[in-house]
């Protein structure tokens, strides 16, 4: 693979799922890869995270990864939807996944550890405690300043997350988040306390993984069990006043979470009340308008993952799209074939990815509104209306193959239209 006669020097910022995927795929192509991660150690932060079959297929192409993910992931075959007062609505089966691929969902820290270890096995160098302070580029190189040192490469892939610093150099201005008007209480907890209450004890079923969605006006509560009934994760998305601080570690308070669903069924309150408070976070959901571009003026720095395009959790695609970015960027750099052609590779990367990501981002709003804005008289009469759309274009998609298929044609299109810019309107 790869026609680069000298190894391309790829600098990757951020060891999230976007950065690590880019690193693994670049190493496979024998590029010289360095990842800079600001954290001093690999942290276990986060709770449940989901990967659709579009990114599940990426995991499955990395030798040994699926076998390590299987024991830690959720293995339910569907989700039961119920109303806020606990009336059963319908069961949505994940039957299409059997045809399209395999989904993976589990603890972010545990899945991240598997991917991280795979990256190390592939020879990726991850530099911890390496916060990138500055980005720079020339016509022929790109680099970062880390801990006061200038590091030079041929290309920088910036997967530095929702609070990306790289965005500023790419855009030429600092992009501010806006409140989405919603926040999420989230928890990942052991099931010990749930077992003590007859109302919730059955949730700790060691024989099968369970998944529920309780829906009410402007609130939804998703609950999943996994790891043979030992772990339960829940997320409660609710209306919130305009606070735009986003943090995966902001503390949440049990009684406040209960208050957000005051008139709901006792089982929902019981699950929340069994949550150890140190396991509860309150995460503000923010919006960012789609960026006018993901690549820098000299086309040697590209944003990938949340840095380029944050997702609402209701799209259930944030991590998947960041992995698709990583794979696509690596294929584009391979097919560009030389260091001189990095700018072409990044332009093609942006053009291949932009409209797909924009459409996938939009599903976060439509999915959320389908639940939150639902007329519950209508829902009770038409219970199937709450099912999540399972769009084939999202899930039955092979980002790697797609990049190989369309690279040449996209590159030709860009040569004919050198002023092409992404269209941030769907
Ligand atoms: C701590 C944390 C917890 C999360 N928990 C969940 C969760 O429970 N459920 C869920 O669905 N999603 C969660 N997410 C978000 C989810 O992981 C991402 O939306 C998705 O995987 C896209 O990944 P990404 O690689 O683009 O960004 P991220 O996963 O955000 O990774 C970005 C990485 O860049 C690093 N970084 C940032 N700035 C710099 C810098 N200047 N220099 C060097 N490194 C830098 C960060 O430390 C981080 O490791 C979490 C993200 C974080 C950071």
Q: Are residues 70 and 128 in the same domain?
A: yes
Q: Are residues 183 and 132 in the same domain?
A: no
pLDDT, residue 365, reads 82
Q: Are residues 147 and 197 in the same domain?
A: no
Q: Are residues 192 and 125 in the same domain?
A: no
Cα 227 to middle of ligand 1, angstroms? 24
**pLDDT over 90 percentage in the chain:** 78
Three-state DSSP state, 293: coil
Say if 423 falls within a structural domain: no
Q: Are residues 114 and 228 in the same domain?
A: no
Q: Are residues 212 and 165 in the same domain?
A: no
User: From the centroid of its chain, how far is CA 283?
Assistant: 15
Three-state DSSP state, 201: helix
* Residue 295 and residue 170 in contact, taking contact as beta carbons nearer than 8 Å: yes
Q: Are residues 343 and 199 in the same domain?
A: no
Q: Are residues 126 and 183 in the same domain?
A: no
Say if 381 falls within a structural domain: no
Q: How many CA atoms lie within 13 A of 138 on its CB side?
A: 6
pLDDT, residue 243, reads 59
Say if 254 falls within a structural domain: yes
Domain boundary among 242, 268, 287: 287
Say if 91 falls within a structural domain: no
Task: Report which of 177, 186, 173 is spatially closest to residue 224, judged by C-alpha positions.
Answer: 186
Say if 88 falls within a structural domain: no
pLDDT, residue 214, reads 97
Measured in residues, the chain has a length of: 426
* Residue 274 and residue 311 in contact, taking contact as beta carbons nearer than 8 Å: no
Using CA atoms, how far apart are residues 39 and 45, in angstroms rounded to an integer?
Answer: 11
Using CA atoms, how far apart are residues 97 and 396, in angstroms rounded to an integer?
Answer: 9
Give Rg (Cα) of the chain.
22
Using CA atoms, how far apart are residues 393 and 270, in angstroms rounded to an integer?
Answer: 39
pLDDT, residue 3, reads 52
Say if 4 falls within a structural domain: no
pLDDT (tens digit, 9 = 90+) per residue, 175-215? 888 888 888 999 999 999 999 999 999 999 999 999 999 99
* Residue 396 burial (CB count, 10 A): 17
Q: Is the pLDDT of residue 157 over 90?
A: yes
Three-class HEC string of 28-62: HCCCEEEEECCCCCCCCCCCEEEECHHHHHHHHCC
pLDDT, residue 287, reads 77
**pLDDT over 70 percentage in the chain:** 96
* Residue 284 and residue 316 in contact, taking contact as beta carbons nearer than 8 Å: no
How much is the mean pLDDT over the chain? 93
pLDDT, residue 4, reads 58
Give the residue whose CA is nearest to atom 29 of ligand 1. Answer: 16
Q: Are residues 156 and 268 in the same domain?
A: no
Which of 11, 12, 16 most suits a substitution to test ligand 1, by most atoms within 8 Å of the C-beta? 16
Q: Are residues 197 and 281 in the same domain?
A: yes
- CA-305 nearest atom, ligand 1: 26
Give 6's pLDDT tier (boundaries 50, 70, 90).
low
Cα 311 to middle of ligand 1, angstroms? 12
What would the mean pLDDT of 326-349 be, rounded to a whole number?
A: 98
What would the mean pLDDT of 59-78 be, rounded to a whole number?
A: 96
Q: Are residues 53 and 169 in the same domain?
A: yes
pLDDT, residue 374, reads 80
Domain that holds residue 194: 178-287
Say if 195 falls within a structural domain: yes
pLDDT (tens digit, 9 = 90+) per residue, 211-260? 999 999 989 999 999 999 999 999 999 988 655 566 666 788 999 999 99
Domain boundary among 287, 309, 339: 287
Q: Are residues 364 and 403 in the same domain?
A: yes
In sequence order, which residues have a C-beta less than 8 Å from that of residue 198 and are 6 or more positions away? none
Pocket, ligand 1, Cβ cutoff 6 A = 13-19, 36-39, 45-47, 49, 108, 131-132, 159-161, 165, 248, 305-306, 313, 318-319, 322
pLDDT, residue 1, reads 46
Reading the block at residue 49, the tokens are 């995270």
What would the mean pLDDT of 384-410 be, rounded to a whole number?
A: 95
Q: Is the pLDDT of residue 371 over 80?
A: yes
Domain boundary among 269, 287, 305: 287
The count of domains in the chain is 2
Q: What is the CATH number of the domain that holds 198?
A: 3.30.9.30
pLDDT (tens digit, 9 = 90+) per residue, 94-113? 887 778 999 999 999 999 99
pLDDT, residue 2, reads 46
Q: What is the CATH number of the domain that holds 346?
A: 3.50.50.60
Say if 98 falls within a structural domain: no
């Amino acid at each position: 693979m790869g026609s680069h006669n000298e190894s391309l020097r790829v600098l990757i910022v951020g060891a999230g799922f976007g950065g690590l995927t880019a690193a693994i795929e670049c190493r496979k192509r024998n590029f010289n890869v360095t990842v800079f991660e600001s954290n001093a150690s690999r942290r276990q932060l986060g709770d449940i995270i989901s990967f659709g079959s579009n990114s599940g297929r990426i995991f499955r192409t990395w030798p040994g990864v699926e076998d390590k993910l299987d024991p830690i992931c959720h293995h339910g075959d569907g989700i039961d939807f119920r109303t806020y007062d606990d009336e059963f609505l319908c069961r949505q089966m994940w039957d299409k996944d059997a045809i399209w691929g395999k989904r993976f969902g589990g603890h972010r820290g545990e899945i991240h550890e598997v991917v991280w270890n795979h990256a190390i096995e592939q020879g990726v160098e991850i530099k911890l405690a390496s916060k990138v302070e500055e980005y720079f580029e020339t016509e022929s190189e790109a680099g970062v300043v880390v801990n006061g040192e200038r590091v030079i490469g041929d290309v920088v892939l910036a997967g530095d997350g929702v609070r990306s610093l790289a965005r500023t150099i790419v855009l030429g201005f600092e992009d501010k988040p806006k409140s989405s008007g919603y926040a999420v209480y989230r928890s990942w907890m052991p099931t010990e306390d749930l077992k003590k209450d007859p109302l919730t004890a059955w949730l700790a079923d060691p024989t099968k993984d369970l998944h529920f969605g309780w829906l009410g006006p402007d609130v939804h509560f998703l609950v999943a069990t996994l790891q043979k009934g030992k772990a339960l994760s829940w997320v409660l998305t609710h209306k919130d006043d305009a606070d735009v601080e986003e943090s995966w570690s902001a503390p949440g308070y049990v009684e406040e979470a209960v208050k957000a669903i005051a008139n709901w069924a006792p089982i929902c309150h019981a699950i929340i009340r069994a949550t150890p408070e140190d396991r509860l976070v309150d995460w503000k959901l923010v919006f960012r308008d789609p960026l006018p571009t993901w690549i820098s003026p000299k086309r040697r720095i590209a944003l990938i993952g949340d840095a380029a395009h944050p997702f609402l959790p209701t799209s259930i695609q944030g991590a998947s799209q960041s992995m698709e970015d990583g794979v696509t960027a690596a294929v584009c750099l391979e097919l560009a074939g030389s260091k001189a052609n990095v700018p072409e590779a990044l332009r093609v990367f942006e053009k291949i990815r932009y409209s797909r990501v924009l459409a996938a981002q939009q599903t976060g709003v439509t999915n959320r509104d389908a639940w939150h804005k639902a007329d519950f008289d209508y829902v009770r009469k038409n219970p199937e209306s709450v099912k999540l759309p399972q769009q084939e274009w999202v899930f039955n998609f092979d980002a790697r193959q797609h990049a190989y298929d369309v690279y040449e044609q996209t590159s030709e299109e860009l040569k004919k239209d050198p002023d092409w810019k992404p269209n941030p309107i769907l």
